[in-house]
Chain A
Amino acid sequence: MQTSKRDEITVAIAGVGGQGTLVASQIIGHAAVKRGFSVRISETFGMSQRGGPVVSHIRIAKNVYSPLIPLMTADVVVGFEPLEALRAALKFLVRGGSVIVNTRVIYPVEVNRGDAKYPKLDKILEALRSLTSDVVTLDATSLAIKAGNPIATNIVMLGALAALDKLPLEPEDLREAVKERVPREVEVNLMAFDLGFKAIREKRQ
Chain B
Amino acid sequence: MLRELLLDAPGKKVLLLGNEAFARGALEANVQVAAAYPGTPSSEIMEALAAVAEEAGIYAEWSINEKVAFEVAYAAAVAGLRSLCSMKHVGVNVASDALMVANYAGVEGGMVIISADDPAGHSSQNEQDNRMFAKFAEIPCLEPATPQEAKDSVVIACELSEKCKLPVMVRSLTRLSHVRGDVELGPLPKEKKRPNLRRDITYTGFPAPDHHKLLHDRLMNIEEDLERVPFNKVEAKGGEKVGIVACGVGYNYAKEAIKLLKLREDDVAILKLGVPYPLPKKLVSSFLRSYDRIYVVEDGFPFMEEQLKILCYDLQIRPTILGKLTGHLPMEGEIDPEKVVVGLARVLGIDYKVPEIKVRGDIELPRRTLSMCAGCAHLATFYAIKQAVRREMKGDPRKTSIVCGDIGCYGLGLFHPYNMFNTHICMGASIGCANGFAQTGINQPVIAYLGESTFFHAGMPPLLNAVYNGANVKVVVQDNITTAMTGHQPNPAVGYTAMGKPAPIVLVEDVAKAFKVPFVRVVDAYKVDELIETIREAIRTPGPAMIVARRLCAELARRQARRKGIQIVPPTIDKMKCNGCKYCITQLLCPALIWREEERKADIDPLLCVGCRVCNQICPQKAITGGNGVADL
Contact = CB atoms under 8 A, between A and B. Distances in A.
A71 B365 contact: no
A83 B368 contact: yes
- Contact residues on A (Cβ < 8 Å of other chain), bracket: 35 or more
A193 B487 CA distance: 27
Nearest to A108: B368
Contact of B363 (A29, A43, A114, A123): A123
A169 interface: no
Contacts of A117: 364, 366
B533 interface: no
A46 B370 contact: yes
B366 A111 contact: yes
Interface residues of B, number: 61
B372 A48 contact: yes
A40 B359 CA distance: 29
A83 B359 CA distance: 13
B181 interface: yes
A118 B256 contact: no
A33 B15 contact: yes
B385 interface: no
Nearest to A39: B182
Contact of B364 (A36, A107, A114, A119): A119
Nearest to B589: A109
B178 A43 contact: yes
Contacts of B364: 116-117, 119
B354 A71 contact: yes
Nearest to B370: A52
Interface in B408-448: 409, 411-412, 417
Where chain B touches its partner, the secondary structure class is: loop
Nearest to A130: B360
Contacts of B180: 25-26, 29, 39-42
Contacts, number: 177
Given A72-B355, A127-B360, A109 B409 contact: no
Contact of B369 (A110, A123, A126, A130): A110
B547 interface: no
B337 A36 contact: no
B586 A33 contact: no
Interface in B371-386: 371-373
Contacts of A39: 15, 180-182
A41 B179 contact: yes
Given A51-B373, A113-B586, A108 B337 contact: no
B357 A91 contact: yes
B617 interface: no
Interface string B289-316: 0000000000000000000000000000
Nearest to B373: A50
A107 to B, nearest CB: 5
Contact of A48 (B179, B359, B485): B485
A17 interface: yes
B201 interface: no
B485 A70 contact: no
Contacts of A107: 594-595, 605
Interface in A65-115: 65-72, 83-84, 86-87, 90-91, 106-115
Interface in B571-601: 582, 585-586, 589, 591, 593-595
A37 interface: yes
Interface in B176-207: 176, 178-182
A68 B336 contact: yes
A63 B417 CA distance: 44
Contact of A66 (B182, B256, B363): B256
Interface of A: 16-18, 25-26, 29-30, 32-33, 36-43, 45-53, 64-72, 83-84, 86-87, 90-91, 106-119, 123-124, 126-127, 130, 141, 150
12 contacts: A38-B182, A39-B181, A42-B178, A48-B412, A49-B484, A51-B371, A68-B336, A71-B357, A110-B369, A112-B591, A112-B595, A113-B595
